[in-house]
Chains A and B, each alone.
Chain A
Amino acid sequence: MIGEKHCYEILKSALKYARSKNVDFVDFLLMSWDSSVTRVANSQIHQNVSETEASLAVDIIHNLRIGSASTSVLTDESIRKTIDAALESTKHKAQLPGPLKLEEFTKGTKSGKFFDRTAGFSPHDRAGIIKEIIERASALKLVTSAKFHTGAGEIAVANSLQTMAYTCFTDANLSVILSGEHDSAYSSIASADAGDLNIDVFTDDLIAKCRRQNKIPLDLFAGKKAGEEIYYDVILEPAAVAEWIDFLSFTGFNGLSYLEEESFLCRKLGQRVMKENVTICDDGNNLMGYLLPFDFEGTPKSRIAFIENGIAKNIAYDGLLAVKAETRSTGHSLGAGQRHLGAVPFNLLMEGGDQSLDYMMASSEEPTVYVTRFHYTNVADTKNVVLTGMTKDGTFLVQGGEIVAPLVNLRYLQSVVDAFNRIEMLSDPVLVHDPDVYGALIPSCSVVPALKIHQVRFIGSTGT
């Protein structure tokens, strides 16, 4: 990390130079992070990496033309060159519909969830925890695969409309897969405070789950004709729910999808689109999750409900989409250089119910498929949020109130909107955070419950 003081210095210097060019609008997004990942395969650490990264992105709007540039070289010379490149990009023909619409700005430092002990977590700290898990699993002849991430990051934004804001955060997340003779079990835990991770309880639960399926898995498609579909009630663990909600959000809540008529919410605001027990919102200030006090163009975060008691309520906008929609930003900007991707919630919360995961299983008399998580989910049809993907790392058949057998992995093809009209039970929501970090480290997470859903469509399996 480069530190709060240095972030402000860089932004002030960059703003001063950009203003000297007399542009109509300029904004900067500065991100930096120190991030380390320890990976385990075949019960030994096999990949163990650390990175120190930073990037500065700039968007310039001049004469209703937008230009973007970014750099990871944070010298004065490079930053000026980057600003010049963004300005040069504004000299093209085609125009934006209007100036960016930003009405409320963040000023000053806003606290995120930052813990020194997470930021200072060493390779030996991670390896020590991993070693304990490996030893406990190996004693039961279980093979361990794992990922343990610890890191710290900072986000600073500034624009020519007086916005200047900074926040920092930490993250520790551990996910483990234990493999027995026949199948595998997955679980993950996360916290901004690495000291909060209760490794003993986590490991106990995971081993118990893995032991429950130590028999030959059933194939629900055995004996079925080619092309035959099957429908089962399902119990989804929070990790599976979070994946569906992420897709629901990116394709449905994103203001870009809405304006381009791809969202399932088009022309449905104010109408019932899901069962009344469904409330999904974004809240960067939710203490159960990771704090993100402002979006990547500096708009303060607030609780925005997209679905409330089954009714479609809001769409996510940034300053640019707000111009097109003739509305206000909802605080979901991706910031300089990323505005073309739309507006995206990063701190989704699905409100829960009062049925526990254990109760969902105990009350399932009819055959019910229990899903730990999904693999390689993708959008088959955007407008109805039809997703397809595979189950993974612990799929069970529940019947008569208990797990009766592990199952081979299943392929589903299901509209999430339709499925969320058939939710029968919801547990307490929990933090789900097992990110696939491809670029910058950001404080993104989901807080979601486990769900029981009536009749989900499956179209195949991996076979035995």
Chain B
Amino acid sequence: MDEKDFCENVLQEAITRGVDYADVRMIPLARTEDITVKNGVVENLEYSESAGFGVRVLLNGVWGFASSFRVEEKEIASIIEMAIKIANAGAITRRRPVRLAASIIWKDARYVTPVKIDPFKVSLEEKVDLLVRADEVMRKHGKKVKIREGDLTFHHFRKIFLSTEGSSITQEITVSGGGISAKAVEGDEIQQRSYPNSFRGNLATCGYEFIEGMDLLAHAARVAEEADELLTVPDCPELDTSIILMPSQLCLQIHESIGHAIELDRILGTEITYAGGSFLTPLLHQLGSYQFGSPLVNITADATLPTGIGSFGFDDEGVEAQKFPVIRDGILKNLLTSRETVTEINELLGRDYFQSSNGTMRGSFTNRIPLIRMTNLYLEPGESEFQDLIASTDHGFILDTNVSWSIDDLRKNFSFGVETAREIRNGRIGQLYKNAHYTGMTTSFWNSCDAVCNRNYSEIYGTPNCGKGQPGQVMMVGHAAPPARFRNVKTGSRKK
């Protein structure tokens, strides 16, 4: 049976059983390829395929959701029946019925990730060879490097979305990613350097050309040498000083302290049992005037960013991908919303602050409901040259590449560990330190931002492992940032 026909049959079954609204997501085939070469040996080479469909029904203002891995005609009736049972069960605690904000109906819409080289058509031999050669370079240049690792990962899926409102959307998303890392070990000391980022590198909605563009071989020697060097340097001192965050770390800072805080479902309390809430809940009435950061802080959400890992054509409610300002000149202007939360927050605010969903609802697969997720959330470039940033810093550290992260459930108090800390003294780069971490409070931190580099220094990174929801959902979200400076930040050693 045709994929769209299958989805139409699902909706027809739901309509026949009297639902007020239903949508179906179906993935006929999702493919993933993961390759890991560790110390010259292929440790993991896995190809996986999956399929499924999931149905949301709205009945008397209450959601029901059911899904199955069996994409078969005979499965439709039982899945719809379960979704309706669930909606009926939920009705016994209903306080506020779900109302959906209006949305454009998209008929036969299509979105495909721009891809030059299909990563699944590149031979395994070529991919493994790339990682083995990078491994060999790291082996030669890292005398105390014990663990060398290279990773490549590729995803492709086609997703069909149909709703009883009449939307019909097909999307094909391709993701490519990879990276290398070296861990030097001496006694109780372990030091790691990574390129282009830690935790398996960087990812993009892109073809194999993204891997070629990273040029892993050119960076392998430096990565190994820097891991070695870190074993010989002192721990980062405990100070209250300036820090310059390099793009990959700044991207995670944006993710944790801004991105999650502005998710409207968290703000409205629907993630309390797992991911947490947001410190913005009691500040909702200040939306449009709340001073989130310094005037240099301009944050944009953009689901249309080329190569951004959070780029798509339509979200999982059938709302088109959008680009919109979140923070302008330090003022909080917007939140990440869905069709349901827009109506709820407008009721709370007593005015129609939001006209429609800004299209951020995504489910990790067809077996999980869509949730509000970051798309590509980035810090707009400023005007500074990087060298001027250094020259104008009396004392501070340049902090690069994340190794650990933690933030409280309301997104106020954060702590990050990084691979390297380069000291700046009197406007010059000096001593390298290891085991650095920094900690602070979200709004104090963003209000201490006094310099942002220009667009020549901006880099895009993917966060492939953003967890949320129960049952859990891992989502790929994107970020971009140039280096930026923050004043009066507490630094120290995370090893202590």
Which A residues form the contact surface with B (CB < 8 A)?
35-55, 57, 65-73, 78, 81-82, 85-86, 88-97, 122-124, 126-128, 130-131, 134, 145-147, 149, 175, 177, 179, 226-227, 260-262, 337, 339-340, 375-384, 386, 388-390, 392, 409, 411, 413, 436-438, 459-463
Contacts A49-B66, A92-B42 hold; do A71 and B50 have CB atoms under 8 A apart? yes
When distances are taken between beta carbons in the complex, the residues of chain B under 8 Å from A438 are: 467, 471-474
Tell me whether A390 and B269 are in contact (CB under 8 A): no
Q: Is the CB of B89 within 8 A of A68?
A: no
B429 is an interface residue with CB less than 8 A from chain A? no
**Complex contact A49–B85 (CB within 8 A):** no
Assembled-state Cα–Cα distance A382/B494 (Å): 10
9 smallest beta-carbon distances between A and B, as pairs:
A123-B89, A340-B44, A438-B472, A380-B494, A68-B46, A145-B272, A127-B89, A390-B408, A45-B90
Query: Which of these, B43, B67, B404, B439, contacts A378 with CB under 8 Å?
Result: B404
Contacts of A54 in B (CB 8 A): 69
Sample (23) of A-B pairs whose CB atoms are under 8 Å apart: A37-B470, A41-B273, A49-B471, A50-B66, A51-B66, A52-B79, A53-B67, A53-B367, A54-B69, A70-B47, A72-B51, A91-B125, A94-B40, A94-B132, A123-B82, A124-B88, A260-B183, A376-B409, A386-B494, A388-B406, A392-B408, A460-B413, A463-B441
Minimum CB–CB distance for A93 against chain B, Å = 6
Find the A residue at minimum CB distance from B435.
A381
Cβ B44 vs Cβ A70 within 8 A: no
Contact of B45 among A52, A57, A67, A146 (CB under 8 A): A67
Chain B 28-39, CB-CB to A under 8 Å as 1, else 0, gives 000000001110
Assembly CA distance A78 to B251 (angstroms) = 40
Output the nearest chain B residue to A411 by Cβ-Cβ distance: B413
B142 interface residue (CB < 8 Å to A):
no
Complex Cα gap A15–B446 (Å): 58
Closest to B125 in A: A92
Residues of B within 8 A of A45 (CB): 62, 89-90, 92-94
Give the CA-CA distance A128 to B93 in the complex, in Å. Answer: 9
Closest A residue to B490 using CB positions: A227
Could you tell me if B146 and A261 are in contact, using CB atoms closer than 8 angstroms? yes
- Taking a contact as CB atoms under 8 Å apart, the answer to whether A227 and B85 are in contact is no
B362 at the interface (CB under 8 A from A): no
| Supplied contacts A46-B90, A73-B49, 9 more A-B pairs, CB within 8 Å | A35-B471, A45-B62, A48-B90, A89-B45, A91-B125, A127-B90, A262-B183, A409-B409, A436-B470
Contact: A72 with B49, CB < 8 Å?
yes
User: A69-B47, A93-B132 given as contacts; is B190 within 8 A of A261 (CB)?
Assistant: yes
Check A78–B68 contact: CB distance below 8 A: no
What A residues does B435 contact at CB under 8 A? 381
Q: Which among A53, A227, A262, A380 has the greatest number of chain B C-beta atoms within 10 A?
A: A380
How many residues of B sit at the interface, in one of the four size bands? 35 or more
The answer to whether A47 and B441 touch across the interface, beta carbons within 8 angstroms, is no
Q: CB-CB < 8 A to B96: which residues of A? A: 44
Among A49, A126, A147, A381, find the residue whose CB has the most chain B CB atoms closer than 10 A. Answer: A49
Residue of A72, A86, A96, A459 with highest tally of chain B CB at under 10 A = A72
Residues of chain B touching chain A, judged by Cβ–Cβ distance below 8 Å, are 36-38, 40-52, 54, 62-70, 79, 82-83, 85-90, 92-96, 124-125, 128-129, 132, 146-147, 183, 185, 188-190, 238-240, 268-274, 276, 367-369, 404-410, 412-413, 415, 417, 435, 437, 439, 441, 467, 469-474, 488, 490, 492, 494-496
Known contacts A122-B89, A226-B240, A437-B472, A51 near B367 by CB under 8 Å: yes
B481 to chain A, nearest CB (A): 21
Q: Could you say which residues of chain B place their CB within 8 Å of the CB of A65?
A: 42
Contact A388 B467 (CB under 8 A): no
Looking at the assembled complex, report how far the CB atom of A358 sits from the nearest CB atom of chain B, in whole angstroms. 27
Q: In whole Å, how far is A433's beta carbon from the nearest beta carbon of chain B? A: 14
Enumerate chain B residues within 8 angstroms of A43, measured Cβ to Cβ.
Answer: 93, 95
Task: Contact check, A437 vs B87: say whether CB atoms are below 8 A apart.
Answer: no
A48-B89, A72-B52, A438-B474 given as contacts; is B124 within 8 A of A92 (CB)? yes
Is B409 in contact with A145, judged by CB distance below 8 angstroms?
no
* B190 A411 Cβ-Cβ under 8 A: no
| Pick from B188, B367, B369, B470: contact of A147, CB under 8 Å | B470
Determine the distance from Cα of A130 to Cα of B408 in the docked complex, in whole angstroms: 27
Contact of B439 among A44, A262, A460 (CB under 8 A): A460
